[in-house]
């Protein structure tokens, strides 16, 4: 996944505008995204307080079902008002929040020993349950590969060693991370993932 600086700025502006429009109960402004933003791509949007970096919401879609611009707009609104860990963001609060976007590569199946901590985000499907962790999480938490596997199982509500089960499917992806503050996003673990409807 590669995006120009202009495309990154446009996505950040689109995410903020989508949240503002939703909170103000008005239509989001029409935009003509570049070809890069029309490709189908998964993405996460993370909101954090500018003052102290405290997480305020994080929601995303792993599967590349919708064009990137639409995925980001939907994830931004969901992060602001549908992350069940937090009270919904208010319109008055929004200027005090910073946005980060993680644009995801397609997923690919791997064996446990192929997982590269710090490069790969991780997803598990097993026993009708699933969970996802973004690539930066393992680095921030100081996890090695084994700990990453344990935590992805816990994220999915599975036993810690569920990744060893015959029906467990491990998927990896990479992420291009950029934000309004100009650097790579640094977020706590366990953002909820959704499926676009």
- pLDDT given at position 32: 73
- pLDDT given at position 194: 46
| Fold annotation for 108-173 | Dna Ligase; domain 1 (3.30.1490)
138's CB contacts (< 8 A; 6+ apart) are 117, 118, 122, 144, 147, 148, 151
Name the 3-class secondary structure at 34.
Answer: coil
Give me the residues of the chain with pLDDT under 50, please. Answer: 183-197
- pLDDT given at position 33: 78
pLDDT tens, position by position, 127-143: 999 999 999 889 989 99
Domain boundaries, the chain: 5-105, 108-173
Residue 59: enclosing H or E segment and its boundaries?
A: strand 55-61
- pLDDT given at position 28: 84
pTM for this model (two decimals): 0.84
Q: Are 50 and 96 in contact (CB under 8 A)?
A: yes
CA-wise closest residue to 57 among 48, 66, 65: 48
Kindly report the number of other CB atoms within 10 A of residue 129's CB atom.
13
- At which residue do the structure tokens 């890069």 appear? 36
Its CATH class, for the domain covering 5-105, is alpha beta
């Amino acid at each position: 996944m590669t995006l120009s600086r202009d495309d990154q700025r446009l996505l950040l502006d689109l995410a903020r505008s989508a949240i503002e429009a939703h909170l103000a109960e008005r239509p989001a402004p029409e935009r003509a995204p570049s070809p890069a933003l029309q490709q189908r791509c998964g993405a996460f949007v993370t909101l954090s307080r500018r003052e102290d970096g405290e997480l305020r919401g994080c929601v995303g879609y792993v599967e590349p079902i919708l064009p990137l611009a639409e995925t980001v707009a939907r994830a931004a609104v969901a992060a602001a008002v549908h992350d069940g860990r937090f009270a919904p963001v208010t319109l008055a609060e929004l200027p005090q929040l910073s946005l980060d976007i993680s644009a995801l590569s397609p997923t690919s199946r791997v064996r446990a020993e192929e997982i590269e901590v710090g490069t790969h985000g991780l997803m598990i499907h097993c026993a009708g349950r699933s969970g996802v962790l973004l690539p930066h999480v393992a680095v921030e938490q100081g996890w090695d590969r084994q700990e990453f596997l344990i935590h992805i199982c816990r994220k999915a509500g599975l036993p810690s060693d569920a990744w060893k089960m015959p029906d467990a499917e491990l998927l990896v992806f990479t992420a291009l991370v950029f934000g309004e503050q100009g650097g790579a996003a640094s977020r706590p673990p366990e953002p909820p993932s959704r499926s676009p409807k």
